[in-house]
A and B are shown apart, each in its own frame.
Chain A
Amino acid sequence: MTAAGSPPPGWPGIFRDLEACRDFATLQRLCRASARLEKTSGLPSPFVPARIALVGGATLDLVAGGLRLALLARGIRPEIHVGGYDQFVREMTDAQGALAAFRPNVVVVVNTPFNIGSWPAIDAPREEVEALVRSECESMLRPCRAIHETTGCEVVLNTLHTIPQTSIGNLGAKLPGDRRNFVRRLNLALGDAAPPFVHLNDVAAMAEERGLAAFFDLRYWYHAKQPFAFDAVPDYVRNTAAIAGALLGRTRKCVVVDLDDTLWGGILGDEGVAGVDVGAGSPRGEAFSAFQHYLKRLRERGILLAVASKNDDDLARRAFTDRPEMVLRLDDFVAFEARWTPKSDSIRAIAAQVGIGLDSLVFVDDNPAERALVRKELPEVAVPELGDEPADFPAILDAGRYFETGSLTSEDRRRTETYKSRQEASDARAAATDMPSYLTSLEMNAVVRPFEEVSLPRIAQLTNKTNQFNLTTRRVTPSEVDAMAKDPAWITRSLRLADRMGDHGLVAVFFARREGRALVVLGWLMSCRVIARGAEYALFEDVLAAARGMGVDEIVGIYRPTDRNAMAKDLYRDLGFTLESETPEETRWRLAVAGARAPQHYIRVDTTSRPTTEDRK
């Protein structure tokens, strides 16, 4: 922990202070400190470059600086375009304007309740209010669709906080025409009507959490059209950066939890399995149970859970099997490291076992010394200031906005199971005597299809989350995926894989564009949970057939090295391509289509079946 007031030690210190920042003056100090640091020692790395536009119905200048810093903290290097005061409708609908010319990846709209065009009369009948809700909702979504159609960008749009006044008192809760009642209805309608490329920035929820009086101050609105109270700006920029981060693939996947005084009260080694405090028997036990319920809900939406604890392994496992009050069970965890070595070692082991990067992890521990150690040894790991009040743990983890996502797919809900079956598969590999018999024993079935509508969210998600087996690390949005699917110059493929241990879902993505007589592979990636199964060969077999059908003479492959994707560097050599050029940025490979064959694989491939409807959910 840094002592209050001491200068932050470089980027990690600035980012940690930003996470804790609750007031505007501190945010500004951090912005200045980061500007100085950027001048002297450059930007933190690694990062994803992105063009972010900030437009809206309020003054944006005081938000822009903080937003830039919050994006940097998410590993995004933004180029920021700031629109004019209350110009967003014009800017977003002008296909020839400066905003469209900026070609934003993400447009952040700071719309406020003052952008509501007409309010209902207090005694307006329900039907009239509902019609007004629809038209106000449409007038907020229309500019979003316009800029999306022009540039293919994703749009972040605010839900609206209420304005602190009512003319009719508590009766308003029953009157659809009451202004608070109307704003609530409008927010619900936005949630229902927002298309996939519009992501709601839940300002209404932020105002509720902080208290409306603290979140919004009419004086600042009258003075300078400030959309939020100054001290609420840090909340707003962190939340916005988390949403943009998820759209750009900067989100975390796994929570690593400590056990003693984190999942239950007391020290297991001292109190014994029967003695630790969890469950409805005590207030503290209830609070720990509630935290376990929260973690379980994270797991159910696709976040992986793992344990890093200083305990005897056998004893730690018995706490889960022998105490019925335990909400989490051993099979909720994808990795369980209970041992007496430094936690940084356990966390490294967990990342290796699960096959994800350290920057995908959040470490949750009540002990400040352990947190400090992990921050120092593994700066990529997010470490929230947990404190010592278990009732606050869910809110603290929530406030870090580590697990934002633009959509929820069926793969998310099955994630723990698929990681577990992968571990079983690696156990089976250890048992099998040779690779072909092992691969055959997996009884793998693949479905290879061009990009299809129902799979678009998952395809985009995979391009944004996959770092290791990713040839070009090109991130694409659902809209770009859709555009490729519809353009006959592209060959697109997705691959779903199932084996005797379970269904892995959609795990590989390929897209290539015809350029003259060649097919140029611009994106190829595979979830690391199916590495070394030969799925890339099965996919390539189908691509070769498609290339022949298209009538091209050769296929050009590109590999762009990053600090994460070394495992994919020899793919084209394995597929029989010849190295054509090599620079630090990329290697280029070429393969004549005539006579080319995909390497041997052991997967039964189906290229005709329809995808399951499950992806739609």
Chain B
Amino acid sequence: MTNEEILRCITSVVAEVVEIDDLRLEATTQATDVEGWDSLAMVQIMVGVEREFGIRFRTGEMAGMANVGELVGRVAERLRPAK
């Protein structure tokens, strides 16, 4: 899966949580740039992303990310086959 595809997927998860149909996310987008992306939304997004990609974040991992680009990177890292 390319980073672009991952970003598209994440965008649709976030869009559903914050209820913005035409949401556009970019690598540099931060949570504070998106209306409704508060701490509660963060947990829901975490759950959604985990479900979407079949991965599991460590506690606090997602809240510590600087922007969407970093989130995409972490997801890509998890999806890469081990070794």
User: Are A and B interaction partners?
Assistant: yes
A residues adjacent to B (C-beta < 8 A): 24-25, 28-29, 32, 59, 61-62, 218-220, 222-224, 226, 230
Closest to B19 in A: A32
Asked whether, in the complex, the Cβ of A61 is within 8 Å of the Cβ of B48, the reply is no
Identify 11 new A-B residue pairs, CB closer than 8 A, beyond the known A62-B44, A223-B39: A24-B44, A25-B16, A28-B16, A62-B40, A220-B47, A222-B60, A223-B60, A223-B63, A224-B40, A224-B42, A224-B43
Closest to A24 in B: B47
Chain A CB within 8 A of B46 CB: yes
Instruction: Name the A residues within 8 Å of B59 (CB-CB).
Output: 218-219, 222-223
Rounded to whole Å, the gap between the CB of B23 and the closest CB of chain A is 15
Complex Cα gap A61–B43 (Å) = 12
Instruction: Name the A residues within 8 Å of B24 (CB-CB).
Output: none
The secondary structure that dominates the A interface is: helix
Residues 12-46 of chain B: 1 if any A CB is under 8 Å from the residue's CB, otherwise 0? Answer: 00001001000000000000000000011011101
The secondary structure that dominates the B interface is: helix
Asked whether, in the complex, the Cβ of B51 is within 8 Å of the Cβ of A220, the reply is no
Q: What are 13 A-B pairs with beta-carbon distances under 8 A?
A: A25-B48, A61-B40, A62-B44, A218-B59, A222-B59, A223-B43, A223-B59, A223-B60, A224-B39, A224-B40, A224-B42, A224-B43, A226-B43
Asked whether, in the complex, the Cβ of B51 is within 8 Å of the Cβ of A59, the reply is no
Instruction: Name the A residues within 8 Å of B39 (CB-CB).
Output: 223-224
Asked whether, in the complex, the Cβ of A59 is within 8 Å of the Cβ of B16, the reply is no
Closest to A59 in B: B40
Closest to A223 in B: B43
Asked whether, in the complex, the Cβ of B40 is within 8 Å of the Cβ of A230, the reply is no
Instruction: Name the A residues within 8 Å of B51 (CB-CB).
Output: 25
Rounded to whole Å, the gap between the CB of A578 and the closest CB of chain B is 58
Q: Which of B48-71 contact A (CB under 8 A)?
A: 48, 51, 59-60, 63
Closest to A61 in B: B40
Instruction: Name the B residues within 8 Å of A222 (CB-CB).
Output: 59-60
Which 5 residue pairs are nearest across A and B when measured between Cβ atoms?
A: A224-B43, A219-B59, A223-B43, A230-B47, A222-B59
Rounded to whole Å, the gap between the CB of B14 and the closest CB of chain A is 13
Rounded to whole Å, the gap between the CB of A177 and the closest CB of chain B is 28
Instruction: Name the B residues within 8 Å of A61 (CB-CB).
Output: 40
Closest to B46 in A: A223
Rounded to whole Å, the gap between the CB of A222 and the closest CB of chain B is 5
Closest to B58 in A: A219
Instruction: Name the B residues within 8 Å of A226 (CB-CB).
Output: 43
Complex Cα gap A338–B51 (Å) = 48
Closest to A29 in B: B16
Rounded to whole Å, the gap between the CB of A370 and the closest CB of chain B is 35
Instruction: Name the B residues within 8 Å of A62 (CB-CB).
Output: 40, 44
Complex Cα gap A25–B49 (Å) = 12
Rounded to whole Å, the gap between the CB of B7 and the closest CB of chain A is 20
Instruction: Name the B residues within 8 Å of A25 (CB-CB).
Output: 16, 48, 51
Rounded to whole Å, the gap between the CB of B12 and the closest CB of chain A is 11
Q: Which of B16, B19, B42, B48 contacts A223 (CB 8 A)?
A: B42
Asked whether, in the complex, the Cβ of A230 is within 8 Å of the Cβ of B44, the reply is yes
Complex Cα gap A32–B42 (Å) = 19
Rounded to whole Å, the gap between the CB of B65 and the closest CB of chain A is 13
Complex Cα gap A230–B51 (Å) = 11
Instruction: Name the B residues within 8 Å of A223 (CB-CB).
Output: 39, 42-43, 46, 59-60, 63
Asked whether, in the complex, the Cβ of A220 is within 8 Å of the Cβ of B43, the reply is yes
Complex Cα gap A25–B15 (Å) = 12
Instruction: Name the B residues within 8 Å of A218 (CB-CB).
Output: 59
Rounded to whole Å, the gap between the CB of A31 and the closest CB of chain B is 11
Complex Cα gap A61–B60 (Å) = 21
Instruction: Name the B residues within 8 Å of A220 (CB-CB).
Output: 43, 47
Complex Cα gap A25–B46 (Å) = 12
Instruction: Name the B residues within 8 Å of A224 (CB-CB).
Output: 39-40, 42-43
Instruction: Name the A residues within 8 Å of B19 (CB-CB).
Output: 32
Rounded to whole Å, the gap between the CB of B80 and the closest CB of chain A is 23
Complex Cα gap A436–B18 (Å) = 70
Rounded to whole Å, the gap between the CB of A476 and the closest CB of chain B is 38
Complex Cα gap A27–B59 (Å) = 24
Instruction: Name the B residues within 8 Å of A28 (CB-CB).
Output: 16
